[in-house]
Homo-oligomer: A and B are copies of this chain.
Amino acid sequence: MSEGSPLWAGRLAGGLDPRILAFSQSLGVDRRLLAHDVRASQAHVRMLGRQGIIDSADAEAIADALEQVTLDEGAADEDVHSLIERQLVARLGETGRRVHAGRSRNDQVAAAFRLWCRDAARDLTGAVAGLQETLVARARADGDLILPGYTHLQRAQPVPLGHHLAAHCVALDRDVVRLRAAHAAADVSPLGAGALAGSSLPIDPDGVARELGFATRFANSIDAVADRDFALDLSYACTVGAVHLSRIAEELVLWTSSEFGFAELDDRVAQGSSMMPQKKNPQVAEHVRGRAAVAIGRLTSLLAVLKGLPLAYNSDLQEDKELVFAQVDGFAGSLGALCLVFEGMRFDGARMAAAADDGMTVATDVAEVLVRDGLPFREAHEQVAARIAAGERFAAPTAAEAIAARNAPGMPGAFRDQLDVIERRIADARAFASS
C-alpha cells in the first residue's frame, strides 16, 4: 500500500478525487481514537497470532509497532484507522499488511469508539462527583443561611441554603446513574463482527473482548456494527447533565444580579465589559447555560442521523464521533468551571435572610396552624390569602422556625442528613470512576 492510498485500493480505478477525500475524511476528528484503536488492534493481532491466522512473531511485531504509531501530520489518510495501517506497513512491510485479517473498519471503529466512550463515562462520573463535593462543602459551610425557595420565581417558602444545594446534588446523582448506564452500554466488544457477518477465519471474539476488559461480546454481528445506542446513551447522559447545570447556572445569574444580591462571584471567575467599567458578569454561568442548549442540539443530531438508516453500517454514522466528543468535552468543561465558581463564591446571608423573612413566605405555615385548629385546608388557605390581599404580613413563624418545623427526611430542616446520604453516593461514584 503506497503512501496515502486507501485501505480499499484495487477495486476502484485511479485515486479518490482529493476534494472528495477532503469531504469524506474524518482524521481531524477521529485522531482522538488513536490510543483506543491501538489497544484494540493489539488485542486483535495477538488473537490472530494465538489462533494461528498469522504468525505469532508477526503478531508480536505488529503489536509492538502499534505502540509506536503517532499522529504524523500531513498524511492523506481517510481516518485514524487508515493512518495506523499505513504506519504499520511503512514500518513492517508485508507484515504490517497482515493486521486487518478477520476484521473490518466497521468493527474496528466501533471497538475504538466504545473504548473511548467507556473511559469518558467513567471520567465524567468522577467530574460529576467533583461538583457534588464542591456543593456539599459549601452546603456544610454555609448551609444554614436561609433564603427563599422559589416557585415561578416568586418567593415561596424559606429554605436553608444547604437544602437548596442538596437539591442540585440529588439531581447530579441521577446523572451518575445515567453515566453508569452509558458505561454499561459501551461495555460490549464488537470485535469479530467484521463488516457485518463476522469472518470465515477462526477468530476468537471472546478472547479479544476479555483482553480489552469488555464485560461481554456482541450478541449479533449485524447489530454490532449498526448499533450506536452506546453513543446515544452517553450523549443523552451528557445532555441531561448539561441541562441540570443550566438550572444551576440560571440561579447563579439570578443570585449575582443586583436585584437578588444573594451571592458575589470571585473576581478570578468573572468577566468585565470592554465598554462599561462597572460590570462584573457571570459569564461562566451563561456559557454553562448556552452550552446546555448546544448539547440538546447535538443529541438531536445523533438521533436524526440514526433515524431511518437500514442495517448495517452506513457512512452517516461517521458523524457520531464529533457529536459525542463535543458532548463529553462540553459537559466536563461546565462541571469543572462550576466547581471553580462555587469554590470562590461569597454568599450574602443578610440579603438572603431579608428576602426569606418578608412576612409572606410563611403564609402556608399560618394556614397550617388553622388546619391544626380544625379548619379545612381550603378554608384556611382562603382566609390567609384574604389577609395577605388586605395587606397583612406575618411576624410568626420566622423563617428559621418554619424550617425547623420541617425536619423529616428530605425536608429543609434535615438537609444535613441529606448531605450524609449524598456523600455516600459520591463515594460510590468516586470508586466507580477510579475503577
Contact = CB atoms under 8 A, between A and B. Distances in A.
A315 B283 contact: yes
Contact of A254 (B153, B273, B302, B408): B153
Nearest to A22: B333
B292 A307 contact: yes
Contacts of A402: 197, 200
Contacts of A295: 301
Contacts of A336: 19, 23
A198 B296 contact: no
Interface in A245-283: 246-247, 249-251, 253-254, 256-260, 267-283
A280 to B, nearest CB: 6
A427 interface: no
B277 A310 contact: no
A222 interface: yes
A220 interface: yes
A306 B39 CA distance: 40
Contact of A275 (B12, B240, B364): B364
A376 interface: yes
Contact of A304 (B103, B217, B233, B297): B297
Number of copies: 4
Contacts of A276: 104, 151, 156-157, 195, 363-364
A100 interface: yes
Given A167-B223, A167-B312, A300-B297, A306 B154 contact: no
Contact of A257 (B154, B177, B379): B154
A302 B292 contact: no
B301 A296 contact: yes
A385 interface: yes
Contact of A315 (B6, B203, B281, B376): B281
Given A200-B402, A310-B247, A385 B294 contact: no
Interface stretch (A68-76, A112-120, A365-373): A365-373
Contacts of A317: 290
Contacts of A223: 166-168, 170-171
Interface string A349-375: 000000100101101111111011000
Interface string A218-231: 11111111110100
Contacts of A291: 319
Contact of A308 (B19, B247, B405): B247
B150 A312 contact: yes
Contact of A307 (B104, B293, B364): B293
A286 interface: yes
A318 B221 contact: no
Given A220-B167, A297-B299, A389-B12, A101 B364 contact: no
Of A294, A363, A388, A405, chain B has the most CB atoms within 10 Å of the CB of A294
A28 interface: no
Contact of A11 (B17, B309, B388, B409): B388
Interface in A75-115: 78, 81, 85, 89, 94-95, 97-106, 108
A415 B223 CA distance: 12
A15 interface: yes
Contacts of A203: 408
A17 B153 contact: no
B11 A311 contact: no
